[in-house]
Amino acid sequence: MASIFGSAARIGCAVFLMVSLAACASAPSNAPRLKGRLFVDGLDVDMTHTVLLKGFGIIEDRSYEEPDIDKLFIAGIENFKTLDPALSATVENDHVFLTYNETHVADLGPASKHDISQWSISTIRGLIVARKLSKPLKEAGAEAMYKAMFSGALALVDPFSRYASYKDAIKYRLLRDGVIGLGVRFEHSEEGPIVQAIVDAGPGWDAGLRIYDKIMSANGVSLAGMTLSEARRRLDGAQGTTLDLIVKRPGAREPLKMTAALDLVFPDTVTSEITDGVLVLRIRSFTQRTAQNVRQAVMAAGNQTKGIVLDLRGDPGGLLDQAVAVADLFLETGTIATLHGRHPGANQFYGADREDISGGLPLAVMIDGKSASAAEIVAAALQDNGRAAIIGTVSWGKGSVQTLQKLPNGGEIAITWARVQMPRGVALHGLGLMPDVCLSGSAPTADEVIGKLGSDSINEIRRQWRDAQDSSDVHEVLRLACPPELHADHPLDLEIARRIVADRSLYAQATFMVEAPQLALKP
């Protein structure tokens, strides 16, 4: 928008600013402007209007269910009480009133506007009044106001939609897409920070740093006596920044000299180990290089592998495209997931179109009550296509997908815009996954669990699950068959998974209910 309000909107702004209010009679003629932007008592009116228009436009356009804009704005205004408890919004005779210390201080107009622009103007009008009355609100700043407004509104949408401020959005993007640095985690010591963990093939590793190394100086500046935060600042910089390090290594006679170039480091969310021919891959979350890391681990294990276990216990999810890519690593054909939403862009289909990198090795997936979202998509794709035995407890049941949309202030809104349908047509949201081998409740022995594989009672539960109606009442009853629990560190789950993938007959018993995989054809 060349002019944020446009001429008509500027007239509207001038009109509402001139309305007689309890604490704001009019906008002064000499109100400051910056590059055509209007400021009133320190409030950037144009930017606030732009952010509200964009943000609520995203919510209205992309929400999975059509939202009630009137209710969202009222909830957002009401949430200013998180900045000052004396503030509130009340609705009387179909009008919204801003209240301060239980006294009406501004009439914000009809409660049924059905118009984002009009609601934005009313909200700004209320902010101008409130900032004159409320010192905490005025001192909070624009970002705090945006957060209060959008958080209050999005709370009515669903638990997974959220607003992130400019700083938080940067942090989230770095977690998803990588960070610039050495790829090293430190702990404090008086002589200099000690390497506590290091990303394989990251800049620090490539320079020669190892666990327990103590960094004495960087670019000639001693790090001795610095706090951990101060030392980190000396070791940070832009991509390509060179650090000449002096390092003290346990057991070494002399300090070591190293040169590291800061680079983009991706979060290391995949770890692997192979024991007795069984490769265990633990995926903590799905970030930008998760599928690539899984592929590398499988290829590195080579011919010594006789079975693979994907450990998704406690995995909260992450990037959808990485979940699809991980599932596709082990499928040659079949549907991976189908997404449905109100917005045309939310309707998507994902099918397998590559070779199985494992060559068809037995595959087990471990899940628990915290396995959610992207983790559930992977497990569902492999289970419904008859490619893996699922072991553990019922999963979280987060079958919703959020789209990330950037706002003019640099913040972002994550809005739920689609629901996931598992390959066999059952909705994932609210239901979750039923494992082929249930380990909820008191822990039996591995032999007892193995002895019950393929029993009629287990198969009947599987049938009911795969034919489940999309009903919260039905979901609640079905989930009781193997209640969700936290099993992230349970050794029994891993022992059973190892035994199943290492023994072809046990693997067949754990997966024999599954029919032939579907073809990856769009409906």
Q: Which two tokens stand for residue 495?
A: 């022992």
The pLDDT value given to residue 10: 40
Same domain, 325 and 232: no
Q: Is residue 341 part of a domain?
A: yes
Is the pLDDT at 5 greater than 50? The verdict is: no
The pLDDT value given to residue 36: 61
Same domain, 376 and 282: yes
Structural domain harbouring 252: 179-265
User: Could you tell me the pLDDT band of residue 8, with boundaries at 50, 70 and 90?
Assistant: very low
User: Could you read off the pLDDT of 103-135 as tens digits, one per residue?
Assistant: 999 999 999 999 999 999 999 999 999 999 999
Residue 390 · residue 513 · CB < 8 Å: no
Is the pLDDT at 225 greater than 60? The verdict is: yes
The pLDDT value given to residue 511: 82
- CB atoms near residue 43 (< 10 Å): 18
| Straight-line distance from the first to the last Cα atom of the chain, in angstroms, rounded to the nearest whole number | 40
Is the pLDDT at 362 greater than 70? The verdict is: yes
The pLDDT value given to residue 421: 93
Mean pLDDT of 141-146: 94
d(CA 354, CA 331): 7
Out of 265, 288, 311, a domain closes at 265
Same domain, 438 and 377: yes
The pLDDT value given to residue 35: 52
Range from 132-146, 254-268, 300-314, 505-519 carrying the lowest mean pLDDT: 505-519
Q: How many domains does one find in the chain? A: 3
Is the pLDDT at 180 greater than 90? The verdict is: no
Q: Is residue 476 part of a domain?
A: no
Q: Is residue 464 part of a domain?
A: no
* Helices 45-62, 142-154: inter-axial angle, 10-degree rounding: 20
Q: Is residue 276 part of a domain?
A: yes
Q: Is residue 171 part of a domain?
A: no
Same domain, 332 and 450: yes
The pLDDT value given to residue 18: 33
The pLDDT value given to residue 349: 96
Q: Which residue has the higher pLDDT, 523 or 342?
A: 342
The one-character DSSP state at 453 is: T
The pLDDT value given to residue 24: 36
Same domain, 122 and 85: yes
Is the pLDDT at 3 greater than 50? The verdict is: no
d(CA 49, CA 371): 39
Rounded (to 5) percent helix, strand, coil in the chain: 35, 25, 40
Q: What are phi and psi of 419, to 5 degrees?
A: -115, 150
Q: Is residue 305 part of a domain?
A: yes
The pLDDT value given to residue 512: 61
CATH code assigned at 259 = 2.30.42.10
Same domain, 362 and 260: no
Is the pLDDT at 304 greater than 90? The verdict is: no
User: Could you read off the pLDDT of 454-468 as tens digits, one per residue?
Assistant: 776 666 777 777 777
Same domain, 211 and 280: no
Q: Is residue 352 part of a domain?
A: yes
Is the pLDDT at 28 greater than 50? The verdict is: no
Same domain, 241 and 274: no
Half-sphere exposure for 261 (CA within 13 Å, toward CB): 3
Is the pLDDT at 261 greater than 90? The verdict is: yes
User: Could you read off the pLDDT of 147-167 as tens digits, one per residue?
Assistant: 999 999 999 999 999 999 988
The pLDDT value given to residue 475: 86
Mean pLDDT of 469-473: 80
In 434-523, alpha helices (H)? 446-451, 456-466, 472-479, 491-502, 504-511
In this structure, the strands spanning 221-222 and 214-218 are: antiparallel
Mean pLDDT of 189-210: 89
The pLDDT value given to residue 489: 85
Mean pLDDT of 309-324: 96
Q: Which residue has the higher pLDDT, 464 or 432?
A: 432
Residue 308 · residue 362 · CB < 8 Å: yes
**DSSP SS3 for 80:** helix
Half-sphere exposure for 33 (CA within 13 Å, toward CB): 11
Same domain, 372 and 416: yes
**DSSP SS3 for 277:** coil
Q: What is the CA radius of gyration of the chain?
A: 28
d(CA 435, CA 8): 59
Beta pairing partners, 177: none
pTM of the model: 0.79
Percent of the chain whose predicted confidence (pLDDT) is above 90: 70
The pLDDT value given to residue 456: 65
User: Could you tell me the pLDDT band of residue 514, with boundaries at 50, 70 and 90?
Assistant: very low
Out of 126, 157, 188, a domain closes at 157
d(CA 75, CA 123): 11
Percent of the chain whose predicted confidence (pLDDT) is above 70: 88
The pLDDT value given to residue 22: 28
User: Could you tell me the pLDDT band of residue 408, with boundaries at 50, 70 and 90?
Assistant: very high
User: Could you read off the pLDDT of 73-82 as tens digits, one per residue?
Assistant: 999 999 999 9
**DSSP SS3 for 158:** coil
The pLDDT value given to residue 276: 94
Same domain, 190 and 147: no
CATH code assigned at 326 = 3.90.226.10
Out of 223, 243, 265, a domain closes at 265
DSSP string, 159-225: TT-EEE-HHHHHHHHHHHH-EEE-SEEEE--TTS-EEEEE-TTSHHHHHT--TT-EEEEETTEE-TT
In sequence order, the 6+-apart residues with CB closer than 8 A to the CB of 127 are: 43, 48, 137, 145
> How big is the CA angle at 40 (ends 107 and 129), to the nearest 5 degrees?
25
Q: Which two tokens stand for residue 129?
A: 């009044």
Is the pLDDT at 313 greater than 90? The verdict is: yes
DSSP string, 506-521: HHHHHHTT--PPPP--
Same domain, 393 and 440: yes
Which residue type does 213 have?
A: D
Q: Which residue has the higher pLDDT, 362 or 176?
A: 362
Is the pLDDT at 19 greater than 80? The verdict is: no
Same domain, 113 and 191: no
- CB atoms near residue 314 (< 10 Å): 21
In 278-351, alpha helices (H)? 290-301, 320-329
What is the sign, positive or negative, of the torsion defined by CA atoms of 336, 340, 341, 346? positive
Mean pLDDT of 379-391: 95
Distance between alpha carbon 277 and the CA centroid of its chain, in Å?
Answer: 34
Q: Is residue 163 part of a domain?
A: no
